[in-house]
Structure 1
Amino acid sequence: MSKREESVAAASTSSQQPRVAAAGGKVATTLSKDEYRQEVFKEQRWIHPRAWPLIIRRLYFEFFYHSLIDKGATLSFFTLLTAMPTLLAFYAITTLFLDHNRSQILQLTDEFISKNIPHNYADNARHIALVLIGSTEQSVIMLVISVLFALFSSSAYVRAFSRSANSMYGRLEGRSIIRTWATMWALTLTLVLGMVIIAGAYFMREDLLLPLLERLAEPLGWENVFLFMANHFLPVWRYVRWPAILLLTMLFIALLYHVTPNVQHGRFRWVTSGSIFAVAGIALVIYVLEFYLSHFAHIGLFGALGGVLSALFGLLIANTMLLLGIKLDAEVARIRELQAGISSEKLIRTPPRASNALNSYQKLNTQLEQQSVQLREQE
């Protein structure tokens, strides 16, 4: 028995050591956070090249034998729900802006509809615009309440990702329901804010922003803003836009990987093998989707329907890439433990964030087994 195995075995005699519960109900002890960081993460920072074929085979096994694509489809459904608070955030900002510039916006909107919307649909478009602009008279409190309800529904994505992340590590959730929900709510708020920032960074382009600012500058008195954006900010932003979007995406994916699983790596890691893999995969999906939309989406009805289907398929692949990324991080952690002499062939021993909920799980599982035995004996 190696020194690392002896330390883990000795941990099993202490009730103070963290416990890891596998998906099948098996419970094992592991090292403390500080011990794990020193003996595994620091000493085994580099993965031996011969371990990568095993990691790739485990990813293959997870994808085809553990229905990873099904988990990605579930997350894709919740992604559509998560988009709601993002739209509401844009909507709230827009309505607050419109409330102070109602007459100018109504005039610009009417001119835009007259020039760009077919005559048969112009009245409907004006009605929708009036409804949106008129809604600023409603109570701000009701707007806040609606956003909170939307955030509540969108947090389902984060909770679903947390369950999938735990399955990638082959363990159960050890945090209490209250702690889990509070954590996922806070993460949801952060990610929604991040989506708004990334979307704003993406659409802050000269071809989209300058025509709009040019139309709004004179009636709203924004001439200085227009000159600053046109002459100073946007020429520089043109070169830093994609690096900024990339860094923000890496940051929020790393945050998602750090918070959602019941795993305690130690300090926050900005970059991991899994996050790099996920960002590269999502970038490829976006490139292919933009290529399709720019070359084929305009070809009649079939092109439009194909654009919708390709967007949904791209959403599925992107969420699957996120899951593969966190699975890659889990397998890298397993290899580090194996290199440190820890028996992690069946269960990854990374310290959990909490194991308090395991007592309730074990108690309920024991009760169910006893009831099953009683039913069998009665027969």
Structure 2
Amino acid sequence: MVHMPGAGPVGPGRRRGLPSHDPLPRTWGDLHARLWWYAVRRAVDSVLRLQCVDLAAALTFYAVLAVVPAFMVVVDLVSFVGMDERTVDLILYVLSAVAPGGVAVALDAPLRGFAHSGLPPLTLVIFVLFTVTTASLYLGALARMLNRVYEVMEGRPLLILPPIQYLTTLALAMAAALMAVLLIAGPSAVGVVGGLLGIPDMLLHVWNALRWPALVLVSLFAATIVYRTAPNVRHESTRWIVPGAVLAVGLGAAASWLLTIYAARAYVRLDLNYGTLSGIIVTLMWLWVCNLALVIGGVLNAELARARRLAAGLPAEDDQLTPPLDTRRSSAFSARRRSLVLEGRRHRLTGRR
């Protein structure tokens, strides 16, 4: 007997909308190794079936709309205190640390030109709002992609979804700022600051040792926030979206490193073939591989959700059966579609044109 959502109290080991006698695995160790391997193989199949390479390319378009204005806003905000050139240098330094060399080259001239433009305060406010909006558009595109992966429709109302995306954008901006600080505060910079403030050398060595692990943790936090809030899916526990976050961060770091090596060796050839566009091409390639890593991590999380339901005895081999977070908007959409289908059937039966 299947208990429908809301049919009764949800006791230990039960989930709404799932059979009461089949609890889902709660920890990673509760899921058998063969189901972990099954989830990995299903993830590979889903990446090919859903054409995730193309989905990542679509996300790259929204990423360009969000990332470039964000850099320009940072430059113009800091230019009010007379640090425009140093801000550009810091941004380019961070980009050179995490992205292929062509990315910093492509953004050098636009950022320096924008630093000297001196936008009026009202124009800057409008530009900030535009940047936040484009970032939320990126999250909206990512949410639609993840909904497709989880085989659910977007059911959150339009009055609820945008605030969630704006808050997620704010959290990601804070994470990005923290990652930038961790990248900038290297041994040389920390040594200078430590000498001025009289910080013991032992603490400076501890900071330098913990800087990269902290950067990894912040990256994992950002990816987990995205996987938690973007799709219209009711996650039973955050621990089951951490594997996808680990995979996304690992793939993104590895792909960035390989692309850096490729750009360093082939940049002369790219410059001969594409001229000033070579830096833009490398930037787009980097954004694409990072988005592809994010998509693949989301696919792994979806397949782990499937594997957990299979372990509970649910027929999830064809359908995900992952409960949606909200169904109000999707229910209205389904009702409209049924109405159109019935109208089309009447036209077919009556022969109306």
Class of the TM-score when normalised by the shorter of the 2 chains: 0.7 to 0.9
The correspondence for 1:10, drawn from 3, 6, 11, is 3
Summarize deviations over 1:219-258 as a string: whole Å, max 9, x none: xxxxx78734998686654333321211110000000000
Distance 1:316 1:300, change over 3 A: closer
Question: What displacement does 1:154 show?
Answer: 2.1
The one-letter code sitting in structure 2 at the alignment partner of 1:260 is A
Distance 1:43 1:198, change over 3 A: closer
Distance 1:231 1:271, change over 3 A: farther
The one-letter code sitting in structure 1 at the alignment partner of 2:309 is E
Question: What displacement does 1:203 show?
Answer: 3.3
Would you say how many aligned residue pairs link Structure 1 and Structure 2?
322
Mapping of residues 23-38 of structure 1, within 5 Å = 31-32=15-16
User: Percent identity, aligned pairs only?
Assistant: 23
Using the alignment, how far apart are the partners of 1:129 and 1:277 within structure 2?
35
Q: Which residue of 1 is the match for residue 115 of structure 2?
A: 132
Q: Which residue of 1 is the match for residue 177 of structure 2?
A: 196
Using the alignment, how far apart are the partners of 1:229 and 1:204 within structure 2?
16
Is residue 152 of structure 2 the alignment partner of residue 180 of structure 1? no
Larger deviation, residues 188-197 vs 265-274: 265-274
Larger deviation, residues 287-296 vs 228-237: 228-237
Is residue 332 of structure 2 the alignment partner of residue 363 of structure 1? no
- The DSSP-based 3-state class of the residue aligned with 1:42 is coil
TM-score (norm 2): 0.77
Question: What displacement does 1:267 show?
Answer: 4.6
Using the alignment, how far apart are the partners of 1:189 and 1:70 within structure 2?
27
Using the alignment, how far apart are the partners of 1:97 and 1:239 within structure 2?
33
| Preserved contact between residue 25 and residue 311 of structure 2 (Cα < 8 Å) | no
Using the alignment, how far apart are the partners of 1:240 and 1:369 within structure 2?
60
| Preserved contact between residue 25 and residue 31 of structure 2 (Cα < 8 Å) | no
The one-letter code sitting in structure 2 at the alignment partner of 1:227 is L
The root-mean-square deviation of aligned C-alpha atoms, in Å, is: 3.8
Question: What displacement does 1:271 show?
Answer: 6.3
The correspondence for 1:156, drawn from 125, 134, 137, is 137
Using the alignment, how far apart are the partners of 1:266 and 1:373 within structure 2?
41
| Preserved contact between residue 85 and residue 192 of structure 1 (Cα < 8 Å) | no
Q: Which residue of 1 is the match for residue 56 of structure 2?
A: 72
Larger deviation, residues 338-347 vs 224-233: 224-233
Question: What displacement does 1:35 show?
Answer: 8.9
Distance 1:135 1:96, change over 3 A: same
Summarize deviations over 1:12-69 as a string: whole Å, max 9, x none: 7x67899xxxxxxxxxxx9429999x92142785322222443233223222222111
The one-letter code sitting in structure 1 at the alignment partner of 2:218 is L
Distance 1:302 1:269, change over 3 A: farther
Question: What displacement does 1:159 show?
Answer: 0.3
List runs of 5+ in structure 2 lacking aligned partners. 87-107
TM-score (norm 1): 0.72
Using the alignment, how far apart are the partners of 2:286 and 2:223 within structure 1?
17
Which has the higher Rg, Structure 1 or Structure 2?
1
Q: Which residue of 2 is the match for residue 171 of structure 1?
A: 152
Distance 1:148 1:284, change over 3 A: same
Distance 1:241 1:35, change over 3 A: farther
List runs of 5+ in structure 1 lacking aligned partners. 1-5, 19-29, 106-124, 215-223
